Chains A and B, each alone.
Chain A
Protein backbone atom coordinates (compact mmCIF):
# COMPACT_ATOMS: atom_id res chain seq x y z
CA UNK A 1 0.00 0.00 0.00
CA UNK A 2 2.75 2.43 1.00
CA UNK A 3 4.65 1.40 -2.10
CA UNK A 4 1.61 2.14 -4.25
CA UNK A 5 1.12 5.56 -2.68
CA UNK A 6 4.76 6.39 -3.29
CA UNK A 7 4.31 5.34 -6.89
CA UNK A 8 1.20 7.56 -7.14
CA UNK A 9 3.18 10.55 -5.99
CA UNK A 10 6.48 10.01 -7.76
CA UNK A 11 5.29 8.70 -11.10
CA UNK A 12 3.63 11.92 -12.34
CA UNK A 13 6.64 13.95 -11.31
CA UNK A 14 9.27 11.78 -12.98
CA UNK A 15 8.48 8.84 -15.22
CA UNK A 16 4.94 9.82 -16.16
CA UNK A 17 5.37 13.59 -16.19
CA UNK A 18 2.25 15.08 -17.77
CA UNK A 19 4.18 17.53 -19.93
CA UNK A 20 7.31 15.71 -21.02
CA UNK A 21 5.87 12.21 -21.32
CA UNK A 22 2.15 12.58 -21.87
CA UNK A 23 2.69 15.95 -23.62
CA UNK A 24 -0.44 17.45 -22.02
CA UNK A 25 -0.90 21.06 -20.95
CA UNK A 26 1.57 22.38 -23.53
CA UNK A 27 -0.53 25.45 -24.36
CA UNK A 28 -0.14 27.17 -21.02
CA UNK A 29 3.45 25.95 -20.72
CA UNK A 30 4.24 28.10 -23.75
CA UNK A 31 2.17 31.05 -22.70
CA UNK A 32 2.98 31.75 -19.07
CA UNK A 33 6.69 30.93 -18.90
CA UNK A 34 8.13 34.30 -19.85
CA UNK A 35 8.70 35.14 -16.20
CA UNK A 36 9.37 32.93 -13.20
CA UNK A 37 6.89 34.71 -10.96
CA UNK A 38 3.99 34.13 -13.33
CA UNK A 39 5.02 30.53 -13.94
CA UNK A 40 5.21 29.85 -10.20
CA UNK A 41 1.74 31.27 -9.55
CA UNK A 42 0.38 29.34 -12.52
CA UNK A 43 2.01 26.15 -11.22
CA UNK A 44 0.55 26.63 -7.74
CA UNK A 45 -2.86 27.35 -9.25
CA UNK A 46 -2.78 24.17 -11.33
CA UNK A 47 -1.59 22.12 -8.34
CA UNK A 48 -4.52 23.42 -6.30
CA UNK A 49 -7.02 22.79 -9.10
CA UNK A 50 -5.84 19.28 -9.99
CA UNK A 51 -5.61 18.24 -6.35
CA UNK A 52 -8.96 19.58 -5.21
CA UNK A 53 -10.89 18.56 -8.34
CA UNK A 54 -9.54 15.02 -8.08
CA UNK A 55 -10.49 14.92 -4.40
CA UNK A 56 -14.05 16.15 -4.97
CA UNK A 57 -14.64 13.94 -8.00
CA UNK A 58 -13.29 10.95 -6.10
CA UNK A 59 -15.68 11.68 -3.22
CA UNK A 60 -18.56 11.83 -5.70
CA UNK A 61 -17.36 8.93 -7.82
CA UNK A 62 -20.02 6.44 -6.72
CA UNK A 63 -22.88 8.87 -7.14
CA UNK A 64 -22.02 10.48 -10.48
CA UNK A 65 -24.41 9.29 -13.23
CA UNK A 66 -22.23 7.67 -15.85
CA UNK A 67 -23.85 9.40 -18.82
CA UNK A 68 -23.13 12.91 -17.58
CA UNK A 69 -19.88 12.27 -15.74
CA UNK A 70 -17.76 14.49 -18.00
CA UNK A 71 -20.16 17.39 -17.46
CA UNK A 72 -20.15 16.90 -13.71
CA UNK A 73 -16.35 16.77 -13.72
CA UNK A 74 -16.25 19.92 -15.79
CA UNK A 75 -18.54 21.72 -13.35
CA UNK A 76 -16.29 20.75 -10.45
CA UNK A 77 -13.11 21.77 -12.29
CA UNK A 78 -14.66 25.05 -13.40
CA UNK A 79 -15.67 25.82 -9.84
CA UNK A 80 -12.12 25.22 -8.58
CA UNK A 81 -10.61 27.37 -11.32
CA UNK A 82 -13.00 30.25 -10.66
CA UNK A 83 -12.25 30.00 -6.95
CA UNK A 84 -8.51 30.19 -7.60
CA UNK A 85 -8.99 33.13 -9.95
CA UNK A 86 -11.18 35.00 -7.46
CA UNK A 87 -8.71 34.43 -4.64
CA UNK A 88 -5.78 35.63 -6.77
CA UNK A 89 -7.76 38.75 -7.70
CA UNK A 90 -8.54 39.49 -4.06
CA UNK A 91 -4.95 39.25 -2.80
CA UNK A 92 -3.06 42.52 -2.86
CA UNK A 93 0.22 40.87 -3.84
CA UNK A 94 -1.26 38.44 -6.37
CA UNK A 95 -3.53 40.93 -8.15
CA UNK A 96 -0.85 42.12 -10.57
CA UNK A 97 0.23 38.55 -11.35
CA UNK A 98 -3.37 37.55 -11.99
CA UNK A 99 -3.70 40.43 -14.44
CA UNK A 100 -0.50 39.35 -16.13
CA UNK A 101 -1.65 35.73 -16.44
CA UNK A 102 -5.03 37.05 -17.61
CA UNK A 103 -6.94 34.37 -19.51
CA UNK A 104 -4.54 31.55 -18.74
CA UNK A 105 -5.85 31.09 -15.23
CA UNK A 106 -9.35 30.64 -16.67
CA UNK A 107 -7.95 28.29 -19.27
CA UNK A 108 -6.81 25.85 -16.57
CA UNK A 109 -10.34 24.48 -17.02
CA UNK A 110 -9.34 23.21 -20.43
CA UNK A 111 -5.96 21.93 -19.24
CA UNK A 112 -6.00 18.29 -20.29
CA UNK A 113 -4.10 17.23 -17.18
CA UNK A 114 -6.99 18.08 -14.87
CA UNK A 115 -9.72 16.22 -16.75
CA UNK A 116 -7.31 13.47 -17.70
CA UNK A 117 -6.42 12.64 -14.10
CA UNK A 118 -10.02 12.76 -12.92
CA UNK A 119 -11.16 10.46 -15.71
CA UNK A 120 -8.18 8.11 -15.44
CA UNK A 121 -7.59 8.04 -11.70
CA UNK A 122 -10.01 9.86 -9.42
CA UNK A 123 -13.15 8.09 -10.67
CA UNK A 124 -11.68 4.71 -9.79
CA UNK A 125 -9.78 5.41 -6.58
CA UNK A 126 -10.34 6.46 -3.00
CA UNK A 127 -10.23 10.20 -2.10
CA UNK A 128 -6.78 10.33 -0.46
CA UNK A 129 -4.84 8.63 -3.28
CA UNK A 130 -6.83 10.76 -5.75
CA UNK A 131 -5.87 13.95 -3.95
CA UNK A 132 -2.22 12.89 -3.97
CA UNK A 133 -2.39 11.91 -7.61
CA UNK A 134 -3.89 15.27 -8.52
CA UNK A 135 -1.34 17.19 -6.48
CA UNK A 136 1.56 15.16 -7.87
CA UNK A 137 0.45 15.73 -11.45
CA UNK A 138 0.18 19.42 -10.72
CA UNK A 139 3.70 19.35 -9.28
CA UNK A 140 4.99 17.48 -12.33
CA UNK A 141 3.45 20.14 -14.55
CA UNK A 142 4.65 23.00 -12.36
CA UNK A 143 8.20 21.64 -12.25
CA UNK A 144 8.54 21.79 -16.03
CA UNK A 145 6.86 25.21 -16.09
CA UNK A 146 9.35 26.61 -13.59
CA UNK A 147 12.35 25.09 -15.40
CA UNK A 148 11.21 26.56 -18.73
CA UNK A 149 10.47 29.93 -17.13
CA UNK A 150 13.88 29.93 -15.42
CA UNK A 151 15.70 29.75 -18.75
CA UNK A 152 13.30 32.09 -20.54
CA UNK A 153 13.49 34.83 -17.94
CA UNK A 154 17.26 34.45 -17.51
CA UNK A 155 18.07 34.58 -21.23
CA UNK A 156 15.17 36.74 -22.34
CA UNK A 157 15.31 39.46 -19.71
CA UNK A 158 18.55 38.80 -17.82
CA UNK A 159 16.54 38.63 -14.60
CA UNK A 160 15.21 36.03 -12.16
CA UNK A 161 12.02 36.83 -10.23
CA UNK A 162 12.46 40.37 -11.55
CA UNK A 163 15.94 40.81 -10.08
CA UNK A 164 18.80 41.54 -12.44
CA UNK A 165 21.24 38.62 -12.34
CA UNK A 166 23.09 38.86 -15.62
CA UNK A 167 25.41 41.86 -16.08
CA UNK A 168 23.81 44.92 -17.67
CA UNK A 169 26.01 44.39 -20.71
CA UNK A 170 24.01 41.25 -21.56
CA UNK A 171 21.76 41.86 -24.56
CA UNK A 172 18.43 40.10 -23.91
CA UNK A 173 17.54 37.58 -26.58
CA UNK A 174 14.15 38.40 -28.03
CA UNK A 175 13.60 34.94 -29.46
CA UNK A 176 13.60 33.55 -25.94
CA UNK A 177 10.61 35.74 -25.03
CA UNK A 178 8.52 34.47 -27.92
CA UNK A 179 6.44 31.28 -27.52
CA UNK A 180 8.37 29.21 -30.12
CA UNK A 181 11.40 29.19 -27.86
CA UNK A 182 9.37 27.55 -25.11
CA UNK A 183 8.63 24.76 -27.55
CA UNK A 184 12.34 24.42 -28.37
CA UNK A 185 13.17 24.37 -24.66
CA UNK A 186 10.46 21.78 -24.00
CA UNK A 187 11.91 19.65 -26.78
CA UNK A 188 15.31 19.84 -25.10
CA UNK A 189 13.82 18.88 -21.73
CA UNK A 190 12.04 15.89 -23.26
CA UNK A 191 15.32 14.91 -24.96
CA UNK A 192 17.25 15.06 -21.68
CA UNK A 193 14.47 13.21 -19.86
CA UNK A 194 14.48 10.41 -22.41
CA UNK A 195 18.24 10.19 -22.50
CA UNK A 196 18.28 9.47 -18.77
CA UNK A 197 15.22 7.22 -18.64
CA UNK A 198 15.82 4.21 -20.89
CA UNK A 199 12.23 3.00 -20.40
CA UNK A 200 10.92 5.99 -22.35
CA UNK A 201 13.00 5.25 -25.44
CA UNK A 202 11.32 3.67 -28.42
CA UNK A 203 13.19 1.17 -30.57
Chain B
Protein backbone atom coordinates (compact mmCIF):
# COMPACT_ATOMS: atom_id res chain seq x y z
CA UNK B 1 0.00 0.00 0.00
CA UNK B 2 1.27 3.43 -0.92
CA UNK B 3 1.34 5.38 2.31
CA UNK B 4 2.42 8.51 0.50
CA UNK B 5 -0.56 8.99 -1.77
CA UNK B 6 -2.72 12.05 -1.19
CA UNK B 7 -5.89 10.07 -0.59
CA UNK B 8 -4.21 7.85 2.00
CA UNK B 9 -2.67 10.84 3.79
CA UNK B 10 -5.96 12.72 4.02
CA UNK B 11 -7.96 9.70 5.19
CA UNK B 12 -5.26 8.65 7.65
CA UNK B 13 -4.99 12.04 9.34
CA UNK B 14 -8.77 12.38 9.45
CA UNK B 15 -9.10 9.01 11.19
CA UNK B 16 -6.31 9.77 13.66
CA UNK B 17 -7.85 13.11 14.58
CA UNK B 18 -11.32 11.62 15.01
CA UNK B 19 -10.00 8.83 17.25
CA UNK B 20 -7.97 11.24 19.38
CA UNK B 21 -10.93 13.62 19.68
CA UNK B 22 -13.20 10.75 20.72
CA UNK B 23 -10.73 9.56 23.37
CA UNK B 24 -10.31 13.05 24.80
CA UNK B 25 -14.02 13.78 24.79
CA UNK B 26 -14.70 10.52 26.58
CA UNK B 27 -12.05 11.15 29.22
CA UNK B 28 -13.15 14.75 29.75
CA UNK B 29 -16.72 13.56 30.21
CA UNK B 30 -15.73 10.85 32.69
CA UNK B 31 -13.40 13.05 34.73
CA UNK B 32 -15.52 16.22 34.56
CA UNK B 33 -17.49 15.68 37.79
CA UNK B 34 -14.32 14.93 39.80
CA UNK B 35 -12.63 18.04 38.41
CA UNK B 36 -15.64 20.21 39.18
CA UNK B 37 -15.73 18.86 42.72
CA UNK B 38 -12.06 19.77 43.16
CA UNK B 39 -12.63 23.26 41.78
CA UNK B 40 -15.62 23.79 44.04
CA UNK B 41 -13.72 22.66 47.15
CA UNK B 42 -10.89 24.98 46.16
CA UNK B 43 -13.29 27.94 45.92
CA UNK B 44 -14.82 27.06 49.30
CA UNK B 45 -11.35 26.84 50.86
CA UNK B 46 -10.46 30.29 49.59
CA UNK B 47 -13.76 31.79 50.74
CA UNK B 48 -13.50 30.26 54.19
CA UNK B 49 -9.88 31.33 54.46
CA UNK B 50 -10.96 34.93 53.76
CA UNK B 51 -13.85 34.61 56.24
CA UNK B 52 -11.43 33.27 58.88
CA UNK B 53 -13.48 30.11 59.46
CA UNK B 54 -10.19 28.21 59.75
CA UNK B 55 -6.56 29.00 58.99
CA UNK B 56 -5.48 28.69 55.36
CA UNK B 57 -3.07 25.84 56.11
CA UNK B 58 -5.76 23.95 57.95
CA UNK B 59 -8.24 24.42 55.12
CA UNK B 60 -5.76 23.19 52.54
CA UNK B 61 -5.01 20.15 54.68
CA UNK B 62 -8.72 19.29 54.89
CA UNK B 63 -10.30 16.76 52.55
CA UNK B 64 -12.89 17.88 49.99
CA UNK B 65 -15.83 16.15 51.68
CA UNK B 66 -15.00 17.78 55.01
CA UNK B 67 -14.68 21.15 53.32
CA UNK B 68 -18.25 20.85 52.01
CA UNK B 69 -19.43 19.93 55.49
CA UNK B 70 -17.52 22.79 57.08
CA UNK B 71 -19.07 25.25 54.64
CA UNK B 72 -22.58 23.90 55.17
CA UNK B 73 -22.08 24.15 58.93
CA UNK B 74 -20.91 27.73 58.84
CA UNK B 75 -22.91 29.37 56.08
CA UNK B 76 -26.01 31.37 57.01
CA UNK B 77 -27.25 32.47 53.63
CA UNK B 78 -26.03 32.75 50.05
CA UNK B 79 -27.76 34.69 47.32
CA UNK B 80 -27.15 36.63 44.15
CA UNK B 81 -27.78 40.29 43.45
CA UNK B 82 -27.97 42.39 40.31
CA UNK B 83 -26.12 45.63 39.67
CA UNK B 84 -28.97 47.63 41.26
CA UNK B 85 -28.21 45.89 44.53
CA UNK B 86 -31.45 43.89 44.53
CA UNK B 87 -31.51 40.28 45.55
CA UNK B 88 -32.30 38.08 42.55
CA UNK B 89 -32.03 34.49 43.74
CA UNK B 90 -31.04 32.26 46.62
CA UNK B 91 -28.07 29.91 46.29
CA UNK B 92 -28.18 26.42 47.76
CA UNK B 93 -26.25 26.03 51.01
CA UNK B 94 -27.03 22.47 52.13
CA UNK B 95 -24.12 20.06 52.00
CA UNK B 96 -25.44 18.12 49.02
CA UNK B 97 -26.48 21.18 47.08
CA UNK B 98 -23.87 23.87 47.51
CA UNK B 99 -24.36 26.43 44.77
CA UNK B 100 -21.65 28.94 43.93
CA UNK B 101 -21.22 31.53 41.24
CA UNK B 102 -17.82 30.14 40.31
CA UNK B 103 -17.54 31.46 36.76
CA UNK B 104 -16.44 34.99 37.52
CA UNK B 105 -15.19 35.97 34.08
CA UNK B 106 -18.65 36.42 32.50
CA UNK B 107 -19.75 38.38 35.58
CA UNK B 108 -16.74 40.65 35.23
CA UNK B 109 -17.75 41.30 31.63
CA UNK B 110 -21.34 41.98 32.67
CA UNK B 111 -20.20 44.47 35.32
CA UNK B 112 -18.16 46.31 32.74
CA UNK B 113 -21.07 46.26 30.29
CA UNK B 114 -23.27 47.59 33.07
CA UNK B 115 -26.03 45.02 32.78
CA UNK B 116 -26.91 41.41 33.33
CA UNK B 117 -24.50 40.65 36.16
CA UNK B 118 -25.30 37.93 38.71
CA UNK B 119 -23.16 38.69 41.74
CA UNK B 120 -22.97 36.31 44.68
CA UNK B 121 -22.98 37.28 48.35
CA UNK B 122 -22.12 34.62 50.92
CA UNK B 123 -23.07 35.37 54.52
CA UNK B 124 -21.52 33.22 57.22
CA UNK B 125 -23.09 32.58 60.62
CA UNK B 126 -20.47 34.82 62.19
CA UNK B 127 -22.06 37.70 60.25
CA UNK B 128 -19.09 37.91 57.91
CA UNK B 129 -20.08 38.48 54.27
CA UNK B 130 -17.83 37.24 51.47
CA UNK B 131 -17.82 38.55 47.92
CA UNK B 132 -15.58 37.61 45.00
CA UNK B 133 -13.45 39.88 42.86
CA UNK B 134 -12.00 39.17 39.43
CA UNK B 135 -9.78 40.97 36.98
CA UNK B 136 -6.77 40.80 34.70
CA UNK B 137 -3.26 40.46 36.11
CA UNK B 138 -0.11 40.54 34.04
CA UNK B 139 -0.21 37.11 32.39
CA UNK B 140 -3.71 35.92 33.13
CA UNK B 141 -6.69 36.43 35.36
CA UNK B 142 -6.41 37.27 39.06
CA UNK B 143 -9.29 36.79 41.44
CA UNK B 144 -10.00 36.65 45.10
CA UNK B 145 -12.50 36.67 47.93
CA UNK B 146 -13.01 39.59 50.27
CA UNK B 147 -14.68 39.03 53.64
CA UNK B 148 -16.45 41.89 55.41
CA UNK B 149 -17.15 42.30 59.10
CA UNK B 150 -20.86 42.62 59.97
CA UNK B 151 -20.54 46.41 59.72
CA UNK B 152 -19.96 45.81 56.01
CA UNK B 153 -17.30 48.46 55.96
CA UNK B 154 -14.31 46.78 57.55
CA UNK B 155 -12.51 43.98 55.74
CA UNK B 156 -12.25 40.87 57.89
CA UNK B 157 -9.94 38.97 55.59
CA UNK B 158 -9.04 38.30 51.99
CA UNK B 159 -7.69 35.58 49.78
CA UNK B 160 -6.20 36.11 46.34
CA UNK B 161 -5.41 33.67 43.60
CA UNK B 162 -4.11 33.86 40.06
CA UNK B 163 -3.65 31.68 37.04
CA UNK B 164 -0.13 32.44 35.88
CA UNK B 165 1.45 35.45 37.58
CA UNK B 166 5.25 35.46 37.83
CA UNK B 167 6.49 33.23 40.67
CA UNK B 168 8.31 35.30 43.27
CA UNK B 169 6.77 38.56 42.03
CA UNK B 170 3.09 38.73 41.07
CA UNK B 171 2.46 35.29 42.52
CA UNK B 172 3.07 36.80 45.96
CA UNK B 173 -0.59 37.84 46.04
CA UNK B 174 -1.29 34.19 46.77
CA UNK B 175 2.00 32.76 48.05
CA UNK B 176 2.82 35.35 50.71
CA UNK B 177 0.38 35.28 53.63
CA UNK B 178 1.51 38.73 54.77
CA UNK B 179 -0.02 40.29 51.67
CA UNK B 180 -3.55 39.04 52.20
CA UNK B 181 -3.24 39.57 55.96
CA UNK B 182 -2.63 43.27 55.36
CA UNK B 183 -6.23 43.60 54.17
CA UNK B 184 -7.73 42.59 57.50
CA UNK B 185 -8.87 45.68 59.39
CA UNK B 186 -8.81 47.90 56.29
CA UNK B 187 -12.02 49.51 55.12
CA UNK B 188 -13.87 49.90 51.85
CA UNK B 189 -15.21 53.43 51.45
CA UNK B 190 -18.42 52.72 49.57
CA UNK B 191 -19.22 55.46 47.12
CA UNK B 192 -15.75 56.99 47.17
CA UNK B 193 -13.74 57.07 43.98
CA UNK B 194 -11.78 54.87 44.32
CA UNK B 195 -13.36 52.79 47.05
CA UNK B 196 -10.05 51.10 47.78
CA UNK B 197 -6.46 51.84 46.90
CA UNK B 198 -3.82 49.19 46.22
CA UNK B 199 -1.06 51.51 45.11
CA UNK B 200 2.55 52.41 45.66
CA UNK B 201 3.01 54.14 49.05
CA UNK B 202 -0.77 54.09 49.56
CA UNK B 203 -0.46 53.28 53.26
CA UNK B 204 1.84 56.22 53.92
CA UNK B 205 -0.68 58.61 52.38
CA UNK B 206 -3.13 57.76 55.11
CA UNK B 207 -6.66 56.49 54.94
CA UNK B 208 -7.78 53.10 56.15
CA UNK B 209 -8.78 51.92 52.68
CA UNK B 210 -5.24 51.58 51.39
CA UNK B 211 -2.71 48.78 51.00
CA UNK B 212 0.75 49.13 49.47
CA UNK B 213 1.26 47.55 46.06
CA UNK B 214 3.82 44.76 45.80
CA UNK B 215 7.30 45.85 44.76
CA UNK B 216 8.34 44.31 41.47
CA UNK B 217 4.78 43.31 40.63
CA UNK B 218 3.42 46.59 39.32
CA UNK B 219 1.17 45.12 36.67
CA UNK B 220 -0.27 42.44 38.94
CA UNK B 221 -0.92 45.03 41.65
CA UNK B 222 -2.57 47.37 39.16
CA UNK B 223 -4.74 44.57 37.84
CA UNK B 224 -5.73 43.55 41.35
CA UNK B 225 -6.47 47.18 42.25
CA UNK B 226 -8.74 47.48 39.24
CA UNK B 227 -10.43 44.17 40.04
CA UNK B 228 -11.08 45.30 43.62
CA UNK B 229 -12.55 48.63 42.62
CA UNK B 230 -14.61 47.30 39.71
CA UNK B 231 -16.24 44.72 41.94
CA UNK B 232 -16.61 47.01 44.95
CA UNK B 233 -18.43 49.46 42.69
CA UNK B 234 -20.70 46.68 41.50
CA UNK B 235 -21.59 45.77 45.09
CA UNK B 236 -21.85 49.35 46.27
CA UNK B 237 -25.60 49.65 45.84
CA UNK B 238 -26.22 46.47 47.74
CA UNK B 239 -24.01 47.26 50.69
CA UNK B 240 -24.69 50.99 50.58
CA UNK B 241 -28.50 50.98 50.37
CA UNK B 242 -29.10 49.36 53.68
CA UNK B 243 -30.64 46.32 52.04
CA UNK B 244 -27.82 44.31 53.47
CA UNK B 245 -28.36 45.52 57.02
CA UNK B 246 -32.07 44.77 56.86
CA UNK B 247 -31.17 41.30 55.81
CA UNK B 248 -28.80 40.92 58.75
CA UNK B 249 -31.52 42.03 61.13
CA UNK B 250 -33.90 39.48 59.70
CA UNK B 251 -31.39 36.85 60.64
CA UNK B 252 -30.87 38.48 64.03
CA UNK B 253 -27.16 38.77 63.46
CA UNK B 254 -25.61 41.24 65.88
CA UNK B 255 -24.22 44.09 63.79
CA UNK B 256 -22.47 45.83 66.64
CA UNK B 257 -20.42 43.23 68.49
CA UNK B 258 -19.34 45.73 71.15
CA UNK B 259 -22.82 47.08 71.88
CA UNK B 260 -22.61 46.43 75.61
CA UNK B 261 -19.34 48.23 76.02
CA UNK B 262 -20.67 51.24 74.21
CA distance A63 to B31 in the complex (A): 31
Checking A65, A76, A99, A102 against B9 with a beta-carbon cut-off of 8 angstroms, the contacting residue is: A65
Residues of A within 8 A of B60 (CB): 96
For residue B175, give the distance in angstroms from its CB to the closest CB of chain A.
10
For residue B24, give the distance in angstroms from its CB to the closest CB of chain A.
6
Interface of A: prevailing SS: helix
Contact status of A65 and B35, CB under 8 A, knowing A75-B17, A92-B64, A177-B168: no
CA distance A91 to B38 in the complex (A): 8
The reply to whether B3 and A65 form a contact with Cβ atoms under 8 Å apart is yes
B63 touches A (CB below 8 Å): yes
B167 touches A (CB below 8 Å): yes
Contact status of A75 and B16, CB under 8 A, knowing A65-B3, A89-B38, A95-B42: yes
The reply to whether B3 and A86 form a contact with Cβ atoms under 8 Å apart is no
Closest chain B residue, CB of each to CB of A62: B3
CA distance A76 to B21 in the complex (A): 11
The reply to whether B9 and A67 form a contact with Cβ atoms under 8 Å apart is yes
Residues of A within 8 A of B168 (CB): 174, 177-178
A68 touches B (CB below 8 Å): yes
CA distance A99 to B43 in the complex (A): 13
The reply to whether A67 and B35 form a contact with Cβ atoms under 8 Å apart is no
In residues 143-183 of chain A, which contact B (Cβ within 8 Å)? 174, 177-178
CA distance A76 to B8 in the complex (A): 18
Contact status of A72 and B16, CB under 8 A, knowing A64-B3, A92-B38, A177-B168: yes
B4 touches A (CB below 8 Å): yes
Residues of B within 8 A of A34 (CB): 167
Residues of A within 8 A of B42 (CB): 95-96, 99
- From A34, A71, A78, A79, name the one whose CB has the most chain B CB atoms within 10 angstroms: A79
Interface of B: prevailing SS: helix
In residues 6-62 of chain B, which contact A (Cβ within 8 Å)? 8-9, 12-13, 16-17, 20, 23-24, 27-28, 31, 34-35, 38, 42, 60
Checking B12, B28, B38, B64 against A65 with a beta-carbon cut-off of 8 angstroms, the contacting residue is: B12
CA distance A182 to B167 in the complex (A): 14
Contact status of A103 and B20, CB under 8 A, knowing A92-B64, A96-B60: no
The reply to whether A67 and B4 form a contact with Cβ atoms under 8 Å apart is yes
CA distance A138 to B108 in the complex (A): 42
Checking A62, A71, A90 against B34 with a beta-carbon cut-off of 8 angstroms, the contacting residue is: A90
Residues of A within 8 A of B4 (CB): 65-67
A83 touches B (CB below 8 Å): yes
Closest chain B residue, CB of each to CB of A65: B9
A195 touches B (CB below 8 Å): no
Residues of A within 8 A of B20 (CB): 75-76, 78-79
For residue B250, give the distance in angstroms from its CB to the closest CB of chain A.
37
A87 touches B (CB below 8 Å): yes
For residue A61, give the distance in angstroms from its CB to the closest CB of chain B.
11
Residues of A within 8 A of B9 (CB): 65, 67-68
Residues of A within 8 A of B64 (CB): 92
The reply to whether A95 and B24 form a contact with Cβ atoms under 8 Å apart is no
B254 touches A (CB below 8 Å): no
CA distance A160 to B170 in the complex (A): 24
A82 touches B (CB below 8 Å): yes
Contact status of A90 and B35, CB under 8 A, knowing A64-B12, A65-B12, A67-B9: yes
Closest chain A residue, CB of each to CB of B32: A90
CA distance A83 to B12 in the complex (A): 22
Closest chain B residue, CB of each to CB of A156: B168
The reply to whether B167 and A79 form a contact with Cβ atoms under 8 Å apart is no
Contact status of A86 and B27, CB under 8 A, knowing A65-B8, A66-B4, A178-B168: yes
A63-B12, A92-B38 are known contacts; what are 19 more A-B pairs with Cβ within 8 Å?
A: A63-B3, A65-B13, A67-B4, A67-B9, A72-B12, A72-B13, A75-B16, A79-B23, A79-B24, A86-B27, A86-B31, A86-B35, A89-B31, A90-B31, A90-B35, A92-B34, A96-B42, A96-B60, A177-B167
What are 29 A-B pairs with beta-carbon distances under 8 A?
Answer: A63-B12, A65-B4, A65-B12, A65-B13, A67-B9, A68-B9, A71-B13, A72-B12, A72-B13, A72-B16, A75-B17, A76-B16, A76-B20, A78-B20, A79-B20, A83-B23, A83-B27, A86-B27, A86-B28, A86-B31, A86-B35, A89-B31, A92-B63, A92-B64, A96-B42, A102-B163, A174-B168, A177-B168, A178-B168
